[in-house]
Amino acid sequence: MFQKKLFTLIFIRHDSQILLGLKKRGFGQNKWNGFGGKIEPNESVIEAAVRELREESCLTVKTTDIKHIGHLEFTFEGDSTMMDVRVFSSSIFEGTPTETEEMIPKWFDCDKIPFYDMWPDDSFWFPYMLQVDPGKACGEPLHAQHVMIDFSPRPEDTD
Ligand code: 6OG
- 3-27 pLDDT tens trace: 999 999 999 999 999 999 999 999 9
Q: What is the pLDDT of residue 113?
A: 96
Is the separation of the CB atoms in 63 and 50 below 8 Å? Answer: yes
Question: Residue with the nearest Cα to atom 18 of ligand 1?
Answer: 37
State which ligand 1 atom lies nearest to the alpha carbon of 23: 3
Q: Indicate if the pLDDT at residue 78 is higher than 90.
A: no
Q: How far is the CA of 73 from the centre of ligand 1 (A)?
A: 10
Q: Indicate if the pLDDT at residue 157 is higher than 60.
A: no
User: What per-residue string of b and e applies to 91-118 under the rule 16 or more CB within 10 Å gives b?
Assistant: bebeeebeebebbbbeeeebeebeeeeb
Q: How far is the CA of 44 from the centre of ligand 1 (A)?
A: 18
Where residue 110 falls (left for φ over 0; alpha for ψ -120 to 50; beta otherwise) is alpha
Q: What is the pLDDT of residue 153?
A: 52
Q: How far is the CA of 30 from the centre of ligand 1 (A)?
A: 12
From the CB of residue 126, how many other CB atoms can be counted at a distance below 10 Å?
18
State which ligand 1 atom lies nearest to the alpha carbon of 9: 22
Tell if the pTM clears 0.80, that is, is over it.
Answer: yes
Q: Indicate if the pLDDT at residue 136 is higher than 80.
A: no
Q: Which of 107, 94, 84 is nearest to 156 (CA)?
A: 84
Is the separation of the CB atoms in 32 and 21 below 8 Å? Answer: yes
Q: Is the dihedral of CA 117, 86, 102, 104 positive or negative?
A: positive
Q: Which of 82, 79, 90, 92 is nearest to 34 (CA)?
A: 90
Q: What is the pLDDT of residue 95?
A: 98
